[in-house]
Amino acid sequence: MIKIPEAPKDTLKIEYEPEVDILNIYLKDAETSLNYSSESKPGVILNYSADGGLSSIEVLDASTHYPASQLAACSVDELIDLKTASEISGIAPVTLRTQAERKRLWAIRLAGQWLTTSERLQQYLDSRRKGSKVV
């Protein structure tokens, strides 16, 4: 198991490229220049930036490691924490966490922190509006 250091806010991005079956996990800006790479185990490549910090992780043949539904969910925009989602939506972070735990809001838990995307947050907000009654 690879231990991923906590990433600075607003830098974590996960992308799946189905045409080449590679899962990319960006811990720094995807445009960061890479200094060197190493294969930590077969099919898992760690990419390091010029400052020596871990910049991204590539998982080759990702479909052999993860279900298709999880990979499809990884083709998302940048992840945001629930505090940021709360500021955007006006909904308390504890409510968003509860909705994530109940699978009403798509979110993943990484390093003890719940993360979602702006797109998934908007889908959740739209679903709340559809279910509300107009008086």
Q: Single out the residue of 116, 92, 93 nearest to residue 106, CA to CA.
A: 116
Say yes or no: 69 and 82 in one domain. no
Q: Do the domain assignments include residue 112? A: yes
**Which phi and psi (to 5°) does residue 98 adopt?**
-60, -45
Q: For residue 23, what are the β-bridge partners?
A: 16, 59
Higher pLDDT, 116 or 5: 116
pLDDT digits (tens, 9 = 90+) for 60-77: 999 898 887 677 667 655
Domain end call among 26, 55, 75? 75
Under 8 Å between Cβ of 45 and 39: yes
User: Strand, helix or coil at 50?
Assistant: coil
Q: Which domain holds residue 52?
A: 12-75
pLDDT digits (tens, 9 = 90+) for 30-60: 788 899 999 999 999 999 998 888 999 999 9
Q: Do the domain assignments include residue 84? A: yes
Mean pLDDT is lowest, of 16-30, 36-50, 69-83, 95-109, for 69-83
- What does the block give as tokens for 74? 């990884």
pLDDT of amino acid 2: 40
pLDDT of amino acid 5: 45
Other beta carbons within 10 angstroms of residue 21's beta carbon come to: 15
Mean pLDDT within 101-128: 87
Report the alpha-carbon distance of residue 30 to residue 91 in Å, rounded.
30
pLDDT of amino acid 101: 93
The four Cα atoms 43, 40, 66, 29 give a dihedral, to 10 degrees, of -100
pLDDT of amino acid 59: 94
pLDDT of amino acid 11: 64
Binning pLDDT at 50, 70 and 90, where does residue 111 land?
A: confident
| Domain tally, the chain | 2
To the question of pTM greater than 0.75 for the whole model, the response is: no
* pLDDT, mean over the chain: 82
pLDDT of amino acid 132: 56
Say yes or no: 102 and 54 in one domain. no
